[in-house]
Amino acid sequence: MAVDLKTRSIERRMKSVLPSRLKSVVARLLTSRGMGRLVKALNPRGNLFGGVYDYSLVSDRDAAQIFFGVWESAEIRFSKRFADNPVVVELGSSVGVTLGVLAVHLPDARLLCVEANPDNFAILQKLRERLPRPERIELIHRAIAYAGGPVAFDVTSVTGSKLGGGSIAAGRRIEVDSTTLSALLASRGIDGPYTLITDIEGAEADVFFRDPDALAGCTKIVCELEDTAEHAIAGQIERLRAIGFEVHERYGNVFFLAKPAAESRRSR
């Protein structure tokens, strides 16, 4: 897979020149429970991502990570930089950190947030009321899956929960109603253009391979990819290229892809 493009953000360049030991010390300090308790006590409305958040909704450590901009940072920074369509669909909204950024960054956009973890979904419902123009934000409690009907879902952590399969070492297994991306778009009259942001622990591979029509109106994708039993990351990227997307930037397993016409319009 010939993908060697990296993020050009100033933050990443600065990190690259800091000594590893210093980076480790700073990271431990900024993401400590004590720092999270301080953030909660100060109760700031915003965070260093440039978004809005309610820190009382999450653990102390998560509060620190969210405030200082180290929570899923590549995915969120790509989303902030590149999501500029009138509709944004986020698969795997977690506890709403990306949502809080996009609600500020895209004040007129329609935001659809899909989340299967019921604990996270309850947080999203509370957070939405604190965000600008909450009426344009739709929260959808579903898993993205293509078997039809309710699916097994493993609730293991805030960021790592996923479709159930095999044994589960920790957490709990529940049933969650599912939908497909095509069905979700059709039921809401969305035929494009839209930006897709997805981090659903490997389940996005089924969207790429089994539901390509859902991407007909999609012009930009921000995705965190994982190797799955059927599709390696390299194969997923090649599939997206075959559909018409090009990779423009990446950081680790987080990619920004766009259809050529969409990116050329952005660069004008």
Q: What is the pLDDT of residues 31-56, one digit of tens each?
A: 899 999 999 999 999 999 999 999 99
Please state the rounded mean pLDDT for residues 87-94: 97
Please state the rounded mean pLDDT for residues 189-199: 95
220, 85 contact by CB (below 8 A): yes
Task: Look up the CATH number of domain 72-266.
Answer: 3.40.50.150
Has residue 98 got a pLDDT over 90? yes
Has residue 188 got a pLDDT over 90? yes
49, 57 contact by CB (below 8 A): no
At residue 197, the pLDDT reads 98
At residue 21, the pLDDT reads 76
Highest-confidence segment of 9-23, 139-153, 237-251: 237-251
How many separate helices (H) and strands (E) can be counted in the chain? 11, 12
- Which tops the pLDDT comparison, 254 or 266? 254
What is the chain's Cα-based Rg? 18
Q: What is the pLDDT of residues 167-178, one digit of tens each?
A: 555 668 888 999
At residue 167, the pLDDT reads 56
At residue 71, the pLDDT reads 86
At residue 223, the pLDDT reads 98
At residue 268, the pLDDT reads 45
Has residue 9 got a pLDDT over 90? no
Has residue 164 got a pLDDT over 80? no
Has residue 183 got a pLDDT over 70? yes
At residue 168, the pLDDT reads 55
- Which tops the pLDDT comparison, 71 or 100? 100
Distances in Å between the Cα of 15 and the Cα atoms of 65, 71, 72 are 16, 15, 16
Which pair of structure tokens corresponds to residue 143? Answer: 């898993």
**From the centroid of its chain, how far is CA 66?**
14
At residue 29, the pLDDT reads 85
205, 228 contact by CB (below 8 A): yes
Please state the rounded mean pLDDT for residues 191-214: 95
- Cβ-based neighbours of 235, under 8 Å, separated by 6 or more: none
**Residue 20: which pLDDT band, with cuts at 50, 70 and 90?**
confident
Q: Is 46 helix (H, G, I), strand (E, B) or coil?
A: strand
**Residue 100: which pLDDT band, with cuts at 50, 70 and 90?**
very high
